């Protein structure tokens, strides 16, 4: 497989970027790099791997994000991920939740650069796919540029050449994960300076990017951007990504075409026993900002949990909102 092109990535988001969400997003963009939710090493090593790791081949290119701090466990999980067909292994060094901290992974690892380096080294030695790190610009009082440089330099020496950096610090106590996504100020200038000082590293900017126009502005100096909640709440934001950033001249799918293409997947998953709501909850934002979008969301939300609901609900919801043709192919 050719080297991954990370010009636009969709962030790993707990409870959101599951396999149904990723399949749906892939119908909108063929090239954006998608990430799984964070999976802990304990879950991968001792849990139901089929349920945790299964993905549709159409989701690729696809990266798996791991949470952990034991080098041997991470190395084994990386091997499993590579064998499963993932294209990248990403280590979470950015999540500030107390539950994650209690497991000694996530953002708290920024205080232990040598341990993170050991983890990265073990994974790099175990697999041939890229091993990357997603981190913050700092934690608590360790938030100076010099602190960030020491962390990055130490871990880069162990073999991490690709960095996804959320341009906010994280407070490990006193702020919830939600508050940590908005209250600490964005400091893009720190990430830009890091790219200037480490030109050999691939730096992907994360945090606060809400439009493709903003993405274009950042891509003047960084190697890629990662967008999270803006894409989840308005997935059609991805519709122009392939043309703008990847040079793909294929026709941009309409929203109703995306609904049509999603229906066969939903039917197949229903046959396997997947609940309809598990899939439709990810498409509520497809008609964001479009007249009739509210009716689309309401019809899906109300109908997906009803006994006997089928994939045809997607067609009905679009027609109810006046969003699609009277009949779908």
Q: Which of 67, 64, 62 is nearest to 25 (CA)?
A: 62
Q: Which residues are catalytic?
A: 95
The DSSP bridge pattern shows strands 224-227 and 202-206 to be parallel
Nearest to 193 by CA among 215, 227, 167: 167
Bond into 136 cis (ω within 30): no
**E strand or H helix that includes residue 300:** helix 293-303
Q: What is the CA radius of gyration of the chain?
A: 20
Nearest Cα neighbor of 89 from 105, 110, 75, 108 is: 75
Closest CA to 209 of 227, 191, 195: 227
Residue 60 CB contacts under 8 Å (≥ 6 apart), including other chains: 85, 87
Question: How far, in Å, CA of 100 to CA of 6, rounded?
Answer: 26
CA proximity to 164, closest of 187, 191, 130: 191
- In Å, the largest CA–CA distance within the chain is 61
- Identify the burial level of 224 via C-beta atoms within 10 angstroms of its C-beta, where 0-12 means exposed, 13-18 middle and 19 or more buried: buried
At residue 324, φ and ψ (nearest 5 deg) are -145, 175
């Amino acid at each position: 497989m050719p080297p991954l092109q990370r010009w636009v990535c969709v962030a790993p988001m707990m409870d959101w970027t599951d396999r149904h969400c990723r399949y749906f997003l892939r119908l909108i963009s063929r090239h954006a790099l998608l990430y799984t939710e964070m999976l802990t090493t304990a879950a991968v090593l001792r849990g139901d791997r089929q349920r945790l790791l299964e993905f549709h081949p159409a989701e690729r290119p696809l990266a798996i994000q791991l949470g952990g701090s034991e080098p041997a466990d991470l190395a084994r999980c990386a091997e499993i991920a590579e064998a499963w067909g993932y294209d990248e292994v990403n280590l979470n060094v950015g999540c500030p939740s107390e539950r994650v901290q209690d497991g000694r992974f996530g953002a708290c690892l920024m205080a232990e650069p040598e341990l993170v380096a050991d983890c990265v080294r073990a994974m790099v030695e175990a697999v041939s796919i890229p091993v990357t790190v997603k981190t913050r610009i700092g934690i608590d009082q360790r938030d100076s540029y010099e602190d960030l440089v020491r962390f990055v330099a130490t871990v880069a020496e162990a073999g991490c050449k690709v960095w996804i950096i959320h341009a906010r610090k994280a407070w490990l106590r006193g702020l919830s994960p939600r508050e940590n996504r908005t209250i600490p100020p964005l400091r893009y200038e720190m990430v830009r300076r890091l790219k200037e000082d480490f030109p050999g590293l691939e730096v992907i900017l994360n945090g606060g990017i809400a439009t493709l126009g903003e993405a274009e502005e950042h891509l003047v100096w960084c190697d890629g951007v990662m967008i999270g909640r803006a894409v989840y709440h308005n997935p059609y934001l991805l519709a122009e990504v392939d043309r703008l950033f990847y040079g793909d001249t294929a026709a941009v799918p309409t929203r109703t075409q995306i609904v049509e293409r999603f229906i066969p997947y939903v039917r197949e998953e229903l046959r396997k026993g997947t609940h309809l709501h598990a899939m439709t909850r990810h498409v509520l934002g497809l008609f964001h900002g479009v007249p009739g979008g509210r009716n689309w969301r309401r019809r899906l939300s109300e109908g997906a949990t009803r006994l006997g609901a089928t994939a045809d609900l997607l067609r009905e919801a679009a027609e109810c909102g006046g969003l699609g043709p009277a009949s779908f192919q």
